[in-house]
Amino acid sequence: MLKFKTDYKDNDIDILVDNARTHTVRQYNLNDFGKNIGSRCPVDVIEYYDENDIKKTIQYFFSSGPHQNKSKGLLQLAKELNIILPTKCFLSQLRELLSEYPAFQTKTKLENLAKTFNINIIYSSKFRCEFNPIEGLWCNMKRFVRQQNDQQYNTMVNNCSYGSWFTTITSFRRHSSKQRVF
């Protein structure tokens, strides 16, 4: 990626992706974090971009003190981020309050990676496959294969039956040659 970045450093780069799950996975999900100190935590640090597009990092584990190497938990994290909490705060309320903080906004892993290299990500429409260039390319490839190959019923049946017969014969030969060794 660095060579690519230096070669095209003066250009604006846009990447068009479809809405596959792998492209839209969130960086952090509040449901994966526990409430109290020492509870579950999927990451060591939380990295995010603030409203001024400056990269910030939050350490999620204590580095010193009586809770050294333990996770902070959402309650302690909210206190460190100066979020005003109600007296008796339930986990659902805590998650709701933290969801408004920039670190837990709905940024995807792909968007964060692209922002690191100053690349713009454009997601294609979720329900319009005919306008999706990736789907269009795939449809074009399928059409090309169909045009270049004989798609008659008899040809397809012969190809399938030959393929299954050939597979059966080769597996029989492989099995019989192993038995001869013993």
**What mean pLDDT value characterizes the chain?**
73
For 85-136, how does the pLDDT look when each residue is reduced to its tens digit (9 = 90+)?
888 888 888 888 888 887 777 677 777 777 777 777 777 666 555 566 667 7
Is the separation of the CB atoms in 72 and 61 below 8 Å? Answer: yes
Q: Considering the entire predicted model, what is its pTM?
A: 0.51
**In Å, what is the CA distance from 4 to each residue of 7, 8, 10, 14?**
5, 6, 11, 14
| DSSP character string of 88-113 | S--HHHHHHHHHTSGGGSS-BHHHHH
For 138-154, how does the pLDDT look when each residue is reduced to its tens digit (9 = 90+)?
777 777 777 777 667 67
As to burial, measured by CB atoms within 10 angstroms (0-12 exposed, 13-18 middle, 19+ buried), residue 54 is: exposed
**The two three-digit tokens of residue 146, written as one number:** 């169909």
pLDDT at 175 over 60: no
Q: What is the pLDDT of residue 82?
A: 85
Tokens 């952090």: give the residue. 28
